[in-house]
Amino acid sequence: MSGTGTGVHRATGWATHLIVATAGHVDHGKTSLIKHLTGVDTDRLEEEKRRGLSINLGFAYRKLDGLSPIGFVDVPGHNRFINTMIAGVSGIDLGMLVVAADDGPMPQTIEHLDVLRLLGVHNFLLVVTKIDGVPAERVQEIAKEMQALLTVREGEVPVFPVSNTRGEGVPALLSHLERCARDTAVKPAGGGFRLSIDRVFNLKGVGLVVTGTATAGSVSVGDFLILQPTGVKLRVRSIHVQDEEADTACAGQRCALNVVGDVERNAVARGDWLLDINAGPVSPGVDARVRLLGTAPFPLKHLSPVKIYLGARRIAGRLFILEGGRCLDPGADALAQLLLDEAVSCCHGEHFLLRDDSESVTLGGGLVLDPYAPRTGKTSPRRLDTLRALDTDSSQAALGALVLEQGQLLDREKFRHSWNLREDEMQKLCGPQLHRIDVDGVSLLVSVARWQQGMAAIPEYLASWHQHNPREAGIKVQLLKSELESTLEAPLFAAMLGDLLQGSVLTLKDGKLFLAGYKASVSNEDVEHWHKFEDFLQQRSRDIPLLSQVSTQTGLDRKTLENMARVAVSDGRLHKLTDNRYATPQQLAQLAQLVGDLVADNQPINVVNFKGRMGTGRKLAIEVLEYFDSIRFTQRRRDIRVILDVELPARLFNR
């Protein structure tokens, strides 16, 4: 398979860790320079050779004795092909600025420099080509002019005058690149495999081949990957790196993968991603830190349409500015959300570019902070604090800031996918200060300190509640949940409640929670009042009274009756028909028997017949029948009722 740049050789174990991208105006000699350095002509297309113009990405490498090879990405310089250039410069370590001595810096020189900066490249060298016909002073003049375009961070860059026709200056340039290769640390192959596809083709006798630069993780022959955004599962049949067969490809390497699966060639496009089988889903919204170039021709207004370049994909979208007003001025940066027209795969730390909607100018770029941006609460103070905590290149620092400092209850898998962490890496990240809980299939992280505080707060609240409600058997779960919802989110409350019940700290009975061993206190006066209440109800038999009638006849005040009724309902001594009417189980058992008698006598169960059997008023008959409906003893069908569960009264009312 061709089209590869750098990678691991099956025999030698080479691992490329220096990738160089050319940058410069059209016809300034970038492709010829790559040929001098590597012996490879990256103008592979006949159209390119005929026109003398690179219109596609070119890849080549330079093998070094006893050293990892150097990979080169040759990008097209013409402004009509700037999109292609953007697609090929992710994962770059060194920018090689190529400027012709006769022309000097040109518009695409500046734009390429801006693009490389926005994509995180800050190491450069300058190559001045076509020195054959210009005096030495001209080379110095160009070097001085280019140095003025660089920032303090990029510092003084080395300059190499080169003649592509005579080869003059190439050995010195190559010697410098070799030193850079020695000094460049090998990229760790951490995280799940990620590769943004920049070329796709069918190769006779081989099948579907995709190429790109692996930006994270590693992949081996036989592994399965996910093609996003389609979600198709593909198997890696073979791997090529450095135009030679390999067993494995990893982060920092250019590779070609021969993949097989249920996918056609026309269903795979530049900008699609090949990802680890356990990668997170795609997302239509991305929160990011966005910066506008100081040379941007105009400010970006809130919700301005833009084109976003992420990996090798170009997506239309809008810029939702999250802070600092509704306008982003040239040279300024801000937190923003990218509202995309199509869902994409990305993860924290990936760079992107912004161009205007007509794609005539590069406006700026940024860094992905959260690939799963929320649709609501975008600008809430809590959300902005979250994004500021994510504005770091350290997953450990971000996790600590969110969970330990801000006290958040964090979705563990969402964080892992956002940072493209393998499961073992996530486990290592979660130290002893973090506590994991699993609620409804979702794993959450909370600080140990907050967990312990909550585990103490619930029993403390119950102890206080028991003290203020001594006659109550316990508190309803939903009421306790609502009382604590300002400090304990629902999943955290559920997890803590489960642990407290399992540890026998709390007891749950009849829908009520109470401290283990707690007994509601009942005074002699309470017992006396209850007997008076119960006796009166039993005396009324089928004619179940209202609480107001009970109060008038017994002399018990309404508040006392309501409190007694609430407690009696919780332990089954009474049943609540309405807010103003309660019945004993014995009363309801008698009334349920009347319903059965109607069926036995072949009479329909309706209000008229039931009222006649009860010997009471119509309102009470209706309330009793509606109560029977509510407990699923009966069911109303138009004007009559049918019995659903003939055994229910015996189970419910026989005490």
- Which CATH number is 532-653's, of 3.40.50.620, 1.10.10.10, 3.40.50.720, 1.10.8.60? 1.10.10.10
Fold of 450-515: Arc Repressor Mutant, subunit A (1.10.10)
At the second CATH level, the architecture of 18-183 is 3-Layer(aba) Sandwich (3.40)
CB-based contacts of 474-479 (< 8 A; 24+ apart in sequence): 474/507, 474/509, 474/512, 474/513, 474/514, 474/518, 474/570, 475/512, 475/513, 475/514, 476/511, 476/512, 476/513, 477/508, 477/511, 477/512, 477/513
SS3 for 305? strand
HEC secondary structure over 147-187: HHHCCCCCCCCCEEECCCCCCCCHHHHHHHHHHHHHHCCCC
- Work out the pLDDT band at 48, boundaries 50, 70, 90: very low
**Mean pLDDT estimate for the chain:** 87
Whole-prediction pTM: 0.76
pLDDT band at 379 (very low <50, low <70, confident <90, very high): very high
Q: For strand 634-637 and strand 640-643, is the pairing parallel, antiparallel, or unpaired?
A: antiparallel
Of 62, 60, 85, 86, nearest in space to 75 by CA: 85
The pLDDT of residue 26: 76
Domain boundaries, the chain: 18-183, 194-276, 283-384, 385-441, 450-515, 532-653
Asked whether 55 and 81 are in contact (CB, 8 A), the reply is yes
Distance of CA 475 to the CA centre of its chain: 37
The residues that bridge with 396 in the sheet, in sequence order, are: none
| Preceding amide of 161 cis, omega within 30 | no
Residue 400: is its pLDDT beyond 50?
A: yes
Domain 532-653 in the same topology as domain 450-515: yes
Count the neighbouring beta carbons within 10 Å of the beta carbon of residue 607: 16
The pLDDT value recorded for residue 547 is 93
Q: How many Cβ atoms from other residues are within 10 Å of residue 650's Cβ?
A: 11
Tokens of 623: 């309330």
- pLDDT-derived band at 45 (thresholds 50, 70, 90) equals very low
Superfamily of domain 194-276: Translation factors (2.40.30.10)
pLDDT of 152 reads 61
Check residue 529 and give its pLDDT.
85
| Type of residue numbered 486 | S
Question: CATH for 283-384, among 3.40.50.300, 3.30.360.10, 2.170.190.11, 2.40.30.10?
Answer: 2.40.30.10
Tens of pLDDT, residue by residue over 267-310, are 999 889 999 999 999 999 999 999 999 989 999 999 999 999 88
Closest CA to 202 of 153, 256, 250: 256
Instruction: Choose among 579, 604, 588: nearest CA to 651.
Output: 588
What sign for the dihedral angle of Cα 313, 316, 319, 320?
Answer: negative
Tokens coding 547: 């609480």
